[in-house]
Amino acid sequence: MTLTDPAAGPPAAGASRTPAPPAPKPAPRRRPSRGLLIALVGLALALALSLSFGGRPTTLAELVHAVWTPTGTVADVAIRELRWPRTLTGLAVGACLGVAGCLSQGHTRNAIADPGLLGIYPGAALAVVGGSMVLGLEAGTGSPLQAVLAFAGAVVACALVFAVGSATRIGVTPVTLVLAGAAVSALAGGLVSFIVLSSDAALDTLRFWQLGSIAVRGGLLPDLVPFMALGLALAAANIGPLNALALGDDTARSLGVSVTRARSLGLGALAVLAACAVTLAGPIAFAGLLVPHMARGLLGSDYRWQMPGCAVIGAAVLLAADTAGRVIARPGELSVGVVLAVVGAPFFVYLARRRRMAAL
């Protein structure tokens, strides 16, 4: 190694000089407000498309007429009596699944987590088929009693996962939550299989309920609005602690955050929101997985922006998937669960192969 004498002065002309490395370019600054505006524009577009497409083609003039000056024409009835309730249901279900997905990935610090990871879907299915066998419910998707059973099963399953996951010396952790969710899901799935093999009525009920559609359950929406409001309020209260938990449990404790209380609050919101979505639309996979990643790409990792962004993007994604199902299979339709599965399965494989995104 050659040492340079400071008194020797600058190198002579023509001497070789090692060029200094170029300074790194600063990363472009993400503007969450701009991302939220893009999400709102996408939601407005998805809302207009949902009202415009159906079994009967509708022009823009007919849509404007039905919204502002209805006179009872066929297009008015189709838009106001059929598509509008379905669109409202899609808005509610999409917002619930988006926020629930944000909470599940945030509290488990796992980029491939969704509400189903905590046993919510198998728990709701077990309650529905068990009620069908014990109470003799007919196969269908619009029964209020079936909705109550689905809601109760989802909440109980999530509570059981939390109870099992917290029964350790160190309390609840992301790893114990995932393991408890897998165990409860396997138990509920096994019981569902046993029941449907023992009862033809339960099999018919499960087949109808597992469609994952927002087409025929809009009448239940008014009864679930208070529960949705409660879930969203709990999720909003969880934003600050969730930002602290993203830095690690020890750091969150040093900032004065009670980790157990924060996770209880977040999982309570997750259970209520996912139960409302399951009650209205059945099990819809991949929405809670896709939406948080889209929100992080647009809004960043700050949950003050990401949480409301997930609600907006979730509603837009669900409406877009439902509209695509009506257009692709016209004059019939594909359920929104099928459309999201076709899109979400490859995305899930892509995430699983990227190790650096496996944990948040």
pLDDT in tens, 89-148: 999 999 999 999 999 888 888 787 888 878 888 888 888 888 777 776 554 555 677 778
In a domain, 227, yes or no: yes
- The CB density around residue 317, as the number of other CB atoms within 10 Å, is 26
In a domain, 268, yes or no: yes
Distance in angstroms (rounded) separating the CA atoms of residues 30 and 192:
46
Give the 3-state secondary structure of residue 268: helix
The tokens describing 105, both together, are 């990935």
In a domain, 61, yes or no: no
| Res 358: pLDDT | 42
Q: Check which CATH number belongs to the domain holding 341 and give it.
A: 1.10.3470.10
**CA-closest candidate to residue 97, choices 335, 355, 278, 338:** 278
In a domain, 7, yes or no: no
| Res 172: pLDDT | 66
Q: How far apart are the first and last CA of the chain?
A: 44
- Write out the DSSP string of 87-141: HHHHHHHHHHHHHHHHHHHHHHT-TT--GGGGTHHHHHHHHHHHHHHHH-PPS-S
pTM: 0.81
Which uninterrupted H or E stretch holds 178?
helix 174-198
Residues of the chain with pLDDT under 50: 1-4, 6, 27, 139, 355, 357-360
Parent domain of 257: 87-357
Distance in angstroms (rounded) separating the CA atoms of residues 324 and 86:
14
| Res 162: pLDDT | 80
In a domain, 2, yes or no: no
| Res 153: pLDDT | 86
Alpha carbon separation from 91 to 70, 96, 97, 105, 155 (Å, rounded): 23, 9, 10, 21, 21
| Res 359: pLDDT | 43
* Burial bucket for residue 211 (CB in 10 Å: 0-12, 13-18, 19+): middle
Number of separate domains in the chain = 1
In a domain, 302, yes or no: yes
The tokens describing 358, both together, are 């496996």
| Res 46: pLDDT | 93
- Write out the DSSP string of 284-342: --SHHHHHHHHHHHHH-S-HHHHHHHHHHHHHHHHHHHHHHHHHHTTTS---HHHHHHH
Distance in angstroms (rounded) separating the CA atoms of residues 282 and 150:
8
In a domain, 303, yes or no: yes
CA 55, 56, 60, 65: dihedral to nearest 10 degrees?
-110
Distance in angstroms (rounded) separating the CA atoms of residues 134 and 153:
15
On the question of a cis peptide bond just before residue 331, with omega within 30 degrees of 0, the verdict is yes
Q: Evaluate whether 39 touches 316 at the Cβ level (below 8 Å).
A: yes
